Amino acid sequence: LDEVLTRALDEIVNSGRMDVAAIFLLQERLGDLQLRAVRGLSEETARLVARLGLLDGDCGGVIRTGKMVVVPDLNRYGRSRSPVFRQERLRSLVHVPLNARGNVLGSMCVGNRAEEGFSREDLEFLSAVGDQIALAVENARLYAEVQRKERVRGELLQKVIAAQEEERKRVARELHDETSQALTALLYEVEEALEQGCDGRTQEVLEHMRQLALQSLDGIHKLIYDLRPSLLDHLGLPAAIHWLAETRLEANGIRVQLEEDPDLGRLPQEVEIALFRVVQEALSNILRHSGARNVAISLRKRDGYLDLSVEDDGVGFDLEEIVHGPDTSRGLGLLGMAERVQLLGGQFDIVSAPGEGTRIHAQIPLGAAGAEGREHA
């Protein structure tokens, strides 16, 4: 921005009709005026201007009024009030408000040594330049604001995802250590009672209890796996994807074609978790929405990148409608996949169209450590 401002002032001073020009911008947080660019003054005087303004500290009040202020003859002002003017032998001055959409963002002050002061054309020219500068300032601020928000959003997201994984781990541990242990104990006791023999009715009830305990244990194990697949921790991503494909797709009659790099090795933990979650969501979408009969999953390493794609031959969908549609609660699953990949510096894309199946593709850069795999206990 400072470069833009300086260029604008160059234009003014180079027009040959004006000698000194300075831009003051209202600081967003503090609300005071700050010198941002100056032309036509020695460095020493510029320092003075930064402190005292060209004529006064509040640029003739243009910030408050939003109106241009022309001071035709400075001899009327007391000399002591304006050391800059005395030093520079300036005679006339104009304060141009920098207006953008009704907000005064600052002031451009232009001074002349010539006796005749500013012509009407001069003032029109300065007013036009002021509008342009204001627009540039506003754009720069909006842009910075968007960038800041984007950064905050990214940081927040990272925290949320980390917290979510942490919490899942905790719940999985709890389910494993407490609930599942208790159920197992119950199962043993029921089995013991069954072995001791009892009358037919009690036998029936005990058998039913045994079945229920088994079913619950099964359910809890599935839950634990979804929360934090120990397969992922112990055996790595391919094994965990195999397991997902088997239990989610094949168990529901969907054919799966799995293609993996044989020498994938272990990947950085955050990459394994992120890709596991991506596949998890992709497969759950396939099951819930696609009606697919065949799914192809591929996981490969190439040129320092990890490449994952999941493709189905189901009904497909209109991506545009999901992403830009009015219902912002839709598409969170897809968004979550994209975010996880992007947080790792990767690229994520979806190709789909009604009647043409769906393909999701993620590409994650593997740092030096990642490419070599990590030591695993």
Ligand X SMILES: Nc1ncnc2c1ncn2[C@@H]1O[C@H](COP(=O)(O)OP(=O)(O)OP(=O)(O)O)[C@@H](O)[C@H]1O
Query: Under rule CB under 6 A, which residues in 326-355 are in contact with ligand X?
Result: 330-334
CB of 27: closest distance to Mg ion in angstroms? 46
Q: Which helix (H) or strand (E) holds 100?
A: strand 92-100
Contact between 295 and 249 (Cβ < 8 Å): yes
The 332-351 contact track toward Mg ion, x by CB under 5 A, reads -x------------------
3-state secondary structure of 297: strand
The gap from C-alpha 125 to its chain's centroid, in whole angstroms, comes to 41
Place of tokens 């020219």: 125
- The count of chain residues that interact with Mg ion, using the rule CB under 5 A, is 2
Query: Under rule CB under 6 A, which residues in 278-317 are in contact with ligand X?
Result: 285-286, 288-290, 312, 314-317
Q: Rounded CA gap, 38 and 5, in Å?
A: 9
Contact between 59 and 107 (Cβ < 8 Å): yes
Which of these segments, 60-68, 73-81, 87-95, 327-335, binds Mg ion (CB under 5 A)?
Answer: 327-335
Binding partner selected for residue 144 from Mg ion, ligand X, none, CB under the kind-specific 5 to 8 Å limit? none
Binding partner selected for residue 46 from ligand X, Mg ion, none, CB under the kind-specific 5 to 8 Å limit? none
C-alpha pair distances (Å), 56 with each of 21, 60, 105, 291: 14, 7, 18, 74
Binding partner selected for residue 315 from Mg ion, ligand X, none, CB under the kind-specific 5 to 8 Å limit? ligand X
CB of 1: closest distance to ligand X in angstroms? 38
> Please, which residue, 112 or 290, has the CB nearer to ligand X?
290
Q: Does the protein bind Mg ion through residue 82 (CB under 5 A)?
A: no
Measuring CA to CA, which residue among 337, 333, 277, 345 is closest to residue 306?
345
Binding partner selected for residue 130 from Mg ion, ligand X, none, CB under the kind-specific 5 to 8 Å limit? none
> Please, which residue, 170 or 330, has the CB nearer to ligand X?
330
Region at 58 (left for phi over 0; alpha for psi -120 to 50; beta for the rest): alpha
> Please, which residue, 266 or 289, has the CB nearer to ligand X?
289
Binding partner selected for residue 157 from Mg ion, ligand X, none, CB under the kind-specific 5 to 8 Å limit? none
- The count of chain residues that interact with ligand X, using the rule CB under 6 A, is 17
Place of tokens 């790099």: 261
What phi and psi, each to the nearest 5 degrees, are found at residue 252?
A: -110, 20
Question: Which residues make up the interface to Mg ion (CB under 5 A)?
Answer: 285, 333
